[in-house]
Amino acid sequence: MENCLFCKIAAKQIPSSIVHEDDDLLVFKDINPAAPVHLLIIPKVHVSTLSDCTPEHAPLLGKMMSLVPKLAADHNIAVTYDEQGQPSRGFKFLINSGPDGGQEVYHLHMHLYGGPRPWRGMRT
Ligand code: AMP
Ligand code: ZN
């Protein structure tokens, strides 16, 4: 997709801070992080928004989401439990879609936020 920022990042035409790459996905650090850990998970193929996904995208979407536990563990934001079973740490996982959803870059991406709060622009 011409003139798509994240297609250019996926093609390495624009540099990014890559933390994971495989045949289908790229994960890189958000350039303007809203939290101590702020990663973007993108498919290498161009899909504009979540509204453009169909059941055919289920394997791709599943691959993106099922990468989150490993990314969270690698960045020390995974949910952990103490001896009483109380959870600590954790993360937020978000897909902005369309203008009302606050989407700025029209190449599907999943945000992964974590680390000590406060986080910019997020109360919960
Ligand atoms: P959204 O509002 O969901 O479309 O989020 C777009 C995100 O892309 C924002 O959090 C931006 O900070 C981030 N972003 C924009 N340009 C770049 C870039 N060149 N490298 C990394 N992240 C970027
Ligand atoms: Zn694109």
**Ligand 1: centre distance to CA 109 (Å):** 9
The pair of three-digit structure tokens given for residue 121, joined into one six-digit string: 């622009």
CATH of the domain at 17: 3.30.428.10
In a domain, 121, yes or no: no
In a domain, 89, yes or no: yes
Q: Into how many domains does the chain fold?
A: 1
Ligand at shortest distance from the CA of 44: 2
Kindly state the DSSP code that residue 65 receives in the 8-state scheme: H
pLDDT in tens, 56-114: 999 999 999 999 999 999 999 999 999 999 999 999 999 999 999 999 999 999 999 99
Kindly state the DSSP code that residue 71 receives in the 8-state scheme: H
- Over residues 32-49, the mean pLDDT reads 98
**What does the alpha-carbon distance between residue 5 and residue 62 come to, in Å, rounded to a whole number?**
23
Which of 94, 95, 104, 106 has the most ligand 1 atoms within 8 A of CB, as the residue to mutate? 104
- The yes-or-no verdict on residue 1 having pLDDT over 80 is no
**Ligand 1: centre distance to CA 27 (Å):** 12
Its pTM surpasses 0.95: yes
CA atoms within 13 A on the CB side of 25: 22
- The yes-or-no verdict on residue 2 having pLDDT over 90 is no
Which residue is closest in CA terms to ligand 1's atom 12? 32
101 is in which domain, residue-wise? 5-106
User: What pLDDT does residue 123 have?
Assistant: 86
